[in-house]
Chains A and B, each alone.
Chain A
Amino acid sequence: MTKKTTAPKAPKGRTSRTTATTSTSGTTRRRTTGDDQRYDAIVVGGGHNGLVNGAYLAKSGLRTLILERRHLVGGAAITEELHPGFWFTTFSYALSLLRPDIIHELELTRHGFMPLLMANTFAPMENGDYLLLSQDRGENLREIARHSKHDADAYDQYEHDVSQVCQLIKPLLDMVPPDLFSDDPAELLALAGLGRHFRRAQPRVVQNAIRLLTGSAADFLDDYFESDIVKGLFASASIIGTKVGPYSQGSGLVLLYHSIGEHDSVFGAWAFHKKGNGGFTQVLARAAQAFGAEIRLESPVASVITKGGRATGVALSDGTEYHADVVVSALDPRRTFLELVEPRDLPTDLVDHIRRFRFQGTSSKVNFALDGIPVFPALADRGVEPFRGFTNIGPSMEYLERAFDDAKYGWYSQHPYIDMAVQSTIDPDMAPPGKHVMSCFIQYTPYKLRERDWDAERQNLGDTVQRTLESFFPGFGNLVLHREVVTPLDIERVVGLSEGNIFAGEFLAPQMFFFRPAPGWSQYRTPIDGYYQCGSGTHPGGCVMGAPGKLAAGQILKDRAIRGR
């Protein structure tokens, strides 16, 4: 296999290749190794978390190598020209949870960071009516009142209550979870701090938080709203990426995650990055390189090399070895613990936890190149306007729950939930003038099908989705120039996310915070010295958030500082 590198820039301020090593006297001396394969840190996987991690490490002066299996970085966050002139966000397609401090600390705005505002949210209904929300609060209240006067009143209260919960929970996304099982005074102090954080909040907010973290979205939404379309719209955010229906316990947590992202301080607001989420990971790659990180493409890592319980480097599947004292896996927990290293080198209960870690992906994508904008009959005269943002095919909680029913019994939804995004209405760079790309996120499509398999069902899924779209947008089929169907199996094969789980492990309470990916191993370290984890399978989890990559870098640097003392 030939190796391509993305024009690695020479590390800043270094003419010869040097690494910092610590001499016995404790002072740092620079040693020229002359050895191309020797680094301070190696990051396995060039998804967004690997890039964030590598960028932070390089920024701190570590000679850092990021190894990516594919011909491009980004992992689940890539944009590809699959039809001439049409740029597809094959997997991940919208941005909201990215931690704002990463934008600043990695100087992303210098490298082209540009989250584009979505102007509208559009929820078509099966009876031909619709809910179309804009950026104007007053207009939205009137629009909701068309469906329910009660819900128009409740809308502000709901937004306020959820925002308060978000404000309470948000700091947790930016912290290393304390170790619940440690007697270390520092950990106990951190736990106490967490307790104080919740004690200081208003009881009502804490209770709402618990309801969301443990309960069902339906229960929560029923407290506020009565109309199907309003509930359907909000409840849709409670199932994304997870094998739950809106009535299942646990869907509240997913709803909370999708509300806690922000766009310029507005909770729950999403943006399209310029040139899609792949445009975003290209920005990250440029930032990482500017800090001196080296990125090697088409470099699949077969294993982490260990010596005496310590990680010392990695071996590619072609046998090439790279050496470093720090090896970071940006892959999911299954690959981090069961594939890159020998499970027998790990404590058995950790291996057991990882074996029982739930993936069970249930999401797919069907992406289209379109000859023109779809037409919703009731809004036929409004052109592209309703499509400037998410279009939500999930007209009621019942619709979503019935879609889930199919999945419960091992099949994919015959009337699927679809999160549609015609990104070219926001970013003209995505498609030729007048043409469009449309990303459709689909649920439910269980990884394990009752009969047949995804290779056999792929195009049938595409047809099912297209049929559903046709029922809302008559004539849709005539617009299709190109169609890409991405099943959970494809996500697993292409990105490497086990069982196609988009979050590298489900968002279920027992798999979050202290427990992500396993009790006692939520602080980005592993039982192997020098071997770290920074993928979405670690806290705070999946989505294009960057937090795992950043928090892991913090731990690595802390450990090095302690060792260097």
Chain B
Amino acid sequence: MSKTADIVIIGGGVMGCATAYYLAKEGLKALVIEKSDIGGEASGSNGGGVRQSARNLKEMPLAMESIRMYESLHEELGMDVEYVQQGNLRLCTNDEELDVMSKSVENQKATGLHLEMLDRSQVLEINPYVGDKIIGASFCPTDGHVNPFLVTYGFYKKAQELGARFYTNEAVTEIRLQKGRVTAVITDKQVIETDLVMNAAGIAGRRISNMVGLDLPMKPVFSEALITEQFPPLFPQMIGHAKGLFYGRQTGHGSFFWGGFVGTEDYLYQKEQAGHSGKPLFHFIGPSIANSIIDFFPVLKNMNVIRMWSGLIAGMSDSIPVLGLTSEVPGFIFCTGFSGHGFGIGPVVGKLMSELILDCNPSIPIHDFCYGRFHKGADHECSCKKNAACTINSAICPNKRQWLKHI
């Protein structure tokens, strides 16, 4: 005998848990299937940066709303999530980097975001610990950071309290279609009948899309992270690098988190040898990040590194996520491809997805993130007037469903 569910969410990361929470708040009890444990992948291994600065302009409305949500998230979730809103410094060490940042700052100011470029002396006023190499930085005072484990866990716990169901240690292996529509989700343990399924599987988002015959231009990007021992509070800002190669913060606990893709060292790339593409040398990434930390904050030089790990980022070809419905497979909802900066917009995405699912009417338009952009180009016109991302209303919002009635 198979179970039934109003909606199955694949993936218990921040996106799956937040969506389940906002749905449950409105009375729709989702079934979340997670192959490991809550926050087992990106949401349980990221840096916790919550930023608007240096974001893709299309993501700005989401990021700005997300900041507003983070400000009161502890009340919403009934637990401390270690949110610190003391700004984001993106440090520059040479003129080229200054240039990149200045341009980005100008563009972002145009969206209404309050941020500015600082010269070295101004940076020192905010953060007296930066090293000699720093010649300037962008500073966005409303940015900050948060404990990602607690946020994900908080959404999970609250969603569960409100009636959402979570099956952990269970992986989705197949999605069954009938006449092109979603009719069931099959896991390694059971069959669950449903006509709505949300793909919030992070890095596995592509594989899940493949299950219904769709594909995404997504590839995994390797990212390394390290954590130091505890230290009395030194600085509260989220730290970034102009080119995004390296970032970090001091956590509420006192330890420092640092992460990066290749650090800032050139030698990390295997030089263009015959037939070689210049991939990073993975075993040098950690030491290279360490070098960058010492360059940027010499005061940390004698601090102990106690743990390292790495994570995979769901990198889209255009570095923005895929959200919403598609007319190609009615009943299939995208919420994946956050390209390494999804945590900061986790709460707002959860909220918007819930609004989309309940009402086909997200309060912030999400058509810039629609699946159709890969076929029809980024500027194509969405068929759904409500900007619910390429929806053919009648086909996919089955009469707004009758969920709210029988709850």
* Pairing of A with B: no
